Chain A
Amino acid sequence: METTIEEPASATGILAPQRASFHDNPWSTPLLGAIGVVAFMGVWELAPRIGLVNSDYLPPFSVVMVQLVSLLADPVFWEALGDTMLSWLIGVAISLSAGAAIGLIIGSSEALIRYTTSTIEFLRPIPSVALIPIAIVLFGINSTATVFVIVWACFWVILVHVMSGIDDVDPVAESTARSYGLGWAWRARFVTFPTALPFLMTGLRLCGTIALVVGITIELVVGTPGLGELIATSQSAGNVSTVYALALLTGVLGLAINYGMKFIENRALHWHPSVRSEQPA
């Protein structure tokens, strides 16, 4: 699609794979990766069967998979997944809009940065889980409490990324825009926004993962509705294979969120050199 990248091999009509060094040395190849996955499943299947570990605590892989498939047919699972994802979505959306707006305001003014740095640096490392009991006291055991804790965890990440994005604006570009008589709104659109966007996107991708971890944690610990609560109830009911199946499914969910965020990032930054150079031409 993109033909702007010069490719000597295509001139001779031979489709030699011209790739960035990143692709010469990938994390994995299909065959070797598959060997790893199959070996992992094999060990998990065999270890309980030959008595290496107690199968009451670690059921064989096949048993967990059967349970996983039956979970997929169970509306209870989908309801829990919906609760988790709804809290995730609302939490990320609030953090994104509040973090971006406040980051933009603070980041645009030297004085505001100077007066808020100490407060931000003090509040930011406060662990989100510390707020779990406060959220319960304020909102009760429900999804609002989950959203509250997610927002606390994600807001700072977005805020700090947006602020360093604005700080990264090239002073020459900014002065050039001023010399050409671009007003505040135009400079924001064509100078500040493109500079800060990659930072915002990195922050957003980090938030996707953080929000899932924090959301599942509060569901697990105090039982606000969602996948974490389902895992906690399965564990106390002694449904061992359900616990493992749910753990695997949250892994799939985590992967899906990672890839989804990566996709959004690449889409939003398709013009950015870091994304363009990653594409195998």
Chain B
Amino acid sequence: MNKARSISAMVALPIVLVLLWWVATLGNSNPFIPKPVALLTDLWETWANSRFLEHVVPSIVRLLSGLSIAIVGGIVLGVLIGSNLTVRKIMGPILEFVRAIPPPVLLPVLMMVIGIGDETKVFLIALGCLWPVLLNTVDGVRSVDPVLRDTTSSYNIGGLTRLRFFLLPAALPRIVTGVRLSLPIALILMVASEMYAATNGLGFSIIYFQRTFQNGPMWAGVVVLGLVGIIMALAFRWFERRILSWYYAQRELETSG
């Protein structure tokens, strides 16, 4: 009973919206406005074939490679910068400024330096996503519990052991926050770089359909892109719950006790 109610609450509004959309476009012949049924057929006919392999998969590969480089690089640099006060103070203003540059601006710059291949797109995604991860790692490392820090020093725990069992777990919640912030940036940069200069990819296909006035496939492409965004958000939420379950449990204890 309860479950049925929560499911009905979940699907009620989407159903109403789709019905409204269907009724509102019933007699409409404007080619620019999509209709629900036509959109579904377009989605199936345009994307559920080799185009998926040719254009969606390369995009995802670029996105994930750029993101992985950013996460690894951001954590490594963040730990280095965060654990050394002098380095942090020297780098502070530069980091602050570079972070303030909107990442898409780097697209033309990188294209001049590296060219328009896949490396440019991966590098751009990595560069744009690096800052949220890096800055959050630095903040996470510098805000570790001072008692724990002194304890590890007293026990003469250093080097990799300190990193593995003290610094990284302590900074992990902030690192995860940084990764969460970098997900939408990665998507924006992936699509923007493909729309700007590319021969394949999701962004390229969508802008190609738009320029050749194939509105049905274009709308279907937008839906595919939206689904990619939603799946990424869900996957990340699942991952976050798993990797930080100990942290949430601890916080709950602290706030309730």
A residues contacting B by CB (< 8 A) are 25-29, 32-37, 39-40, 53, 57-58, 114-119, 122, 124-134, 136-138, 212-214, 216-217, 220-222, 228, 231-232, 234-235, 240, 243-244, 246-248, 250-252, 254-255, 258
Contact = CB atoms under 8 A, between A and B. Distances in A.
B225 interface: yes
Given A119-B14, A254-B100, A129 B142 contact: no
Interface stretch (B45-53, B189-197, B241-249): B189-197
A78 B6 CA distance: 54
A124 B104 CA distance: 21
Interface of B: 6, 9-14, 17, 32, 85-86, 88-94, 96-109, 111-113, 142, 184-185, 187-188, 191-192, 195-196, 203, 206-207, 209-210, 215, 218-219, 221-222, 225-226, 228-230, 232-233
Which of B11, B102, B107, B109 has the most CB atoms of chain A within a 10 A radius of its CB?
Answer: B102
A79 B103 CA distance: 22
A36 B188 contact: no
13 contacts: A25-B85, A28-B90, A32-B89, A33-B90, A53-B113, A122-B14, A127-B225, A129-B191, A130-B225, A133-B207, A133-B221, A234-B108, A243-B108
B94 A212 contact: no
A153 to B, nearest CB: 9
B171 to A, nearest CB: 16
A231 B107 CA distance: 10
Contact of B226 (A34, A115, A126, A244): A126
Contact of A37 (B93, B106, B188, B210): B93
Contacts of A126: 225-226, 229-230
Contacts of A27: 88-89, 92, 96
A257 to B, nearest CB: 8
Contacts of B106: 247
